[in-house]
Amino acid sequence: MATARAVSVEIDSRARYHLTITLPASGRAGRLLFLVALWPPSIFLAQAPQTTAPAPSASELKLDTGKQIYEAACIGCHGPGGRGQPQTTLGFEPPATFPDFSDCPTSTPERTFDWRATIHEGGRGRGFSEIMPSFAEALTVEQIDKVAKYLRTLCSEPDWPLGELNLPRPLITEKAFPETETILTMAANANGADALSSNLTYEQRFGVKNHFELSVPVNFSEQGAGTWIGGIGDMVLGVKRVLAHSSRTGSIFSVQGEVSAPTGNREKGLGSGVTTFETFGAFGQILPHFSFFQIQAGVELPTDTDKAPKAVFWRTALGRTFTQHQNFGRSWSPMVEILADRDLETGADTNWDIVPEMQVTLNKRQHIRVNIGIRTPINNTAGRSTQVMVYALWDRFDGGLREGW
Ligand code: HEC
C-alpha cells in the first residue's frame, strides 16, 4: 500500500474523532482522500445523547484521564490494551516498528518523554511513519502527558527497568542501564606523544535486566620520526546485570563483570599482554530539572601482576539535558566527568582527570547521537596527555542507522 502523505486529526464538537489520511497519486485512482471517523466508545455516547440538548464542545468532553483520552483518540489504531488493532480494522499496513505497548521487552526501554514527543509531533516529527498523527492541535500538552503515562501502565510486569532510567551516556563512565547499542569512541592526544585510539563497543540486551558487551580497541601511536604503528588492542567481553531500580526515586544500580584478553601486542605497546578481570558497580540517579548523575567504581585484577598492576577506579558524571522545541525536539546534554584511578602498589598516586563534554542527538528519532569532550589530567601530568574524545552512538533498539532522519 502507498504510504500516507499527510495525516490530520481532530475531535469535533459532537465528540467524534476524525482522522484524515491523504495518499499520494497512484495510477488512475488519482489522489485519494480517506476519511476515517472513529466513533469513540460508550463514554461519549453517554456524553452526547440523542436529544435536542446542544452537543458538548471538544473542550467539554470528558478527556480527564489517560485511559479516557486513549479510548477516544488512540484505540482505533493502537487497539485495546495497546496491543494494536488487527490489520483488517486498521485499513493500513502497520510499519515494522508499530508498537505493542503491552509488550514489556519492547515498550519498557522507551522513554515516556519520547512517547509524548511522538504524540505531539506525530510520526513525521520523530522520523516514524506518517500514519501516526500529530495530536498537537487535538490534545493539550497536559492531555498528552496523561495519555503517555497511561501507555506506561500497559506493561504490567514491574521487573523491567523503564527507559527513563536510561541516562545520557558519558564518554568514559559506564551506565547502569542495560543497552542495545553500538558505540564507536575515538581519542586523540592533544599534547605529548602522538597517539590515536578507537574502540568499537557492541552491547546487546538479553532477559529482563541484562546485557552483554564486546569491545574491540584499535590503537595507533607514533614510534618516532613519522613512523606509526597500529593494531588491535585487548578485547573485552562483559556482562551487566541490574540489581535494583526504581522509577519512583529515579535510581538504577547494576554490576558488571568483564574479562580483557591479551589480544593486543605488548611489545608494540598495543596491549597489556595479560588477561585481566574487571568488576564494577554502576549507579544512575535522575535529579530535578532533567539533571542526572552517574557513578561507576570498580577494580581491575590482572592474572599476572608482573605485567600489569591491580588497580581501582572511580568515575562520576554530572549533567543536564536541554531539549529544543518545547521538549519535543533535539536534545543537548552537557556533562562533566571526574575520573580517578590508582594502581594498587605502595607509593602509587591517584590520577585525577576532568572531562567536560556535550552529547547531542543527531536525527529526528534521536537514536543516533554524538558526544565530544576534552579529557584533561588534573594532576600527575607527566606522561599523561590531554585528549580530545568523541563517540558516535547508535541505539539499535530504535531502528537502523539510516532510519529516522
Ligand atoms: C491512524 C492510526 C493511529 C492513531 C489514531 C494513533 N496512532 Fe500512534 N502510531 C500509529 C502508527 C502507525 C505508529 C507507528 C509509527 C512507526 O513506528 O513508524 C504509531 C506510533 C506511536 C507511538 C510511538 C511508539 C514508539 O515505538 O516509539 C506512540 C507513543 C503512539 N503512537 C501513541 C499514540 C497515542 C497516545 C495516540 C492517541 C492519542 C495514537 N498514537 C494514535 C498509528 C496511530
Q: Strand ranges (DSSP E) for 308-397?
A: 311-320, 322-323, 331-343, 350-361, 368-377, 387-395
CATH of the domain at 370: 2.40.160.40
Does residue 34 contact residue 28 with C-beta atoms inside 8 Å?
Answer: no
Tell me how far apart the alpha carbons of residues 140 and 138 are, in angstroms, rounded to a whole number. 7
Q: In this structure, which residue's CA is closest to atom 19 in ligand 1?
A: 132
State pLDDT tens for residues 258-284: 999 999 999 888 999 999 999 999 999
Read off the pTM.
0.85
**Grid cell at residue 255:** 554490576
Q: How far apart, in whole angstroms, are the C-alpha atoms of residue 338 and residue 382?
A: 19
Q: Which three cell numbers stand for residue 104?
A: 514489556
Residue with the nearest Cα to atom 20 of ligand 1? 132
Read off the pLDDT of residues 85-105 as tens digits, 9 standing for 90 and up. 988 888 888 898 899 999 999
Do 250 and 389 lie in a common domain?
yes
129 ligand 1 Cβ < 6 A: yes
Give yes or no: residues 107 and 178 share one domain. no
Question: Taking Cα atoms as reference points, which of 252, 247, 243, 216 lies closest to residue 232?
Answer: 216
Nearest C-alpha neighbor of 34 from the set 72, 71, 5: 5
Distance 78 CA to ligand 1 centre (A): 7
Q: pLDDT under 50 in the chain at which residues?
A: 1-7, 12-16, 21-57
Which pLDDT value is given to residue 10? 54
β-sheet bridge partners, residue 197: 187, 219
Residues 251 and 365 in one domain: yes
Report yes or no: 385 and 191 within 8 Å, Cβ to Cβ.
yes
**Among the listed residues 183, 171, 176, the one whose alpha carbon sits nearest the alpha carbon of residue 337:** 171
Same domain, 100 and 245: no
Helix (H, G, I), strand (E, B) or coil at 13: coil
- Residue 90, helix vs strand vs coil: helix
Residue 157 domain flag: no
Q: How far is the CA of 277 from the centre of ligand 1 (A)?
A: 45
Q: Is 21 in the pocket of ligand 1 (CB under 6 A)?
A: no
Q: Is the CB of residue 84 below 6 angstroms from any atom belonging to ligand 1?
A: no
> Which cell goes with 253?
544500580
- The answer, yes or no, to whether any atom of ligand 1 lies below 6 A from the CB of 122, is no
Q: Are strands 251-260 and 276-287 parallel, antiparallel or unpaired?
A: antiparallel
Per-position DSSP letters for 274-302, written without gaps between them: S-EEEEEEEEEEEETTTEEEEEEEEEEEE
Residues of the domain holding 377: 163-398
Q: Whose CA is nearest to atom 14 of ligand 1?
A: 98
**Residue 132 falls within a domain, yes or no?**
yes
Let me know whether 186 and 56 are in one domain. no
CA 122 to ligand 1 center in whole angstroms? 8
106 CB under 6 A from ligand 1?
no
User: Quick check: CB of 126 below 6 Å from ligand 1?
Assistant: no
Instruction: Locate the ligand 1 atom nearest the alpha carbon of residue 131 and give its number.
Output: 12
For residues 46 and 68, state if they share a domain.
yes
Q: Final residue of a domain: which of 152, 181, 201?
A: 152
242 and 219 both lie in a single domain:
yes
Query: How far is the centre of ligand 1, averaged over its atoms, from the C-alpha of 89 (Å)?
Result: 15
Whether residues 293 and 224 fall in one domain: yes
Q: Which residues pair with 319 in a beta bridge?
A: 292, 335
Ligand 1 proximity of 101 Cβ (cutoff 6 Å): no
Report which of 339, 383, 379, 341 is spatially closest to residue 357, judged by C-alpha positions: 339
Atom of ligand 1 nearest to the CA of 106: 26
Does 19 contact ligand 1 (Cβ within 6 A)? yes
Q: Are residues 113 and 174 in the same domain?
A: no
The last residue of a domain, from among 82, 117, 152 = 152
Q: Taking the mean position of all CA atoms in its chain, how far away is CA 330?
A: 13
- What residue's CA is closest to ligand 1, atom 25? 99
Strands 331-343 and 6-11: unpaired
Nearest-atom number in ligand 1 for the CA of 96 is 17
Residues 191 and 86 both lie in one domain:
no
Pocket lining: 91 vs ligand 1, CB cutoff 6 Å = no
Regarding the beta carbon of 110 and ligand 1, being less than 6 Å apart is answered yes
| Domain membership flag for residue 48 | yes
| Whether 219 and 305 share a structural domain | yes
Q: Per the domain annotation, does 1 fall within a domain? A: no
For residue 52, how far is its CA from the centre of ligand 1 (angstroms)? 36
CB 95 near ligand 1, within 6 Å: yes
- At residue 193, the pLDDT reads 81
Count the domains in the chain.
Answer: 2
Does residue 75 fall inside a structural domain?
A: yes
**What is the SS3 assignment for 377?**
strand
For position 269, what pLDDT does the model report?
84
Q: Which of 35, 78, 146 to mutate to test the pocket of ligand 1 (most atoms within 8 A of CB)?
A: 78
Of 152, 176, 201, which residue constitutes the final position of a domain?
152
Reported for 256-265, long-range contacts at CB under 8 A and 24+ positions apart, including other chains, are 256/174, 256/280, 256/281, 256/282, 256/298, 260/234, 260/235, 260/236, 261/234, 261/235, 261/236, 261/237, 262/234, 263/232, 263/233, 263/234, 263/235, 264/217, 264/219, 264/231, 264/232, 264/233, 264/234, 265/231
Q: Is 403 within a domain?
A: no
Identify which of 38, 132, 146 to mutate to test ligand 1's pocket (most ligand atoms within 8 A of the CB): 132
pLDDT of residue 48: 35
pLDDT of the residue at 370: 98
Q: Is residue 102 part of a domain?
A: yes
Gap between the Cα atoms of 155 and 107, Å rounded: 7
Residue 284 burial (C-beta neighbours within 10 Å; 0-12, 13-18, 19+): buried
In this structure, is residue 158 part of a structural domain?
no
- Which 3 state secondary structure label does DSSP give 72? helix
* CA separation for the pair 226, 65 (Å, rounded): 68
Quick one: which H or E segment has residue 38?
Answer: strand 32-38
Provide the 8-state DSSP code for 161.
Answer: P
- Please indicate whether residue 11, judged by its CB atom, sits closer than 6 Å to ligand 1: no
Are residues 79 and 179 located together in one domain of the fold?
no
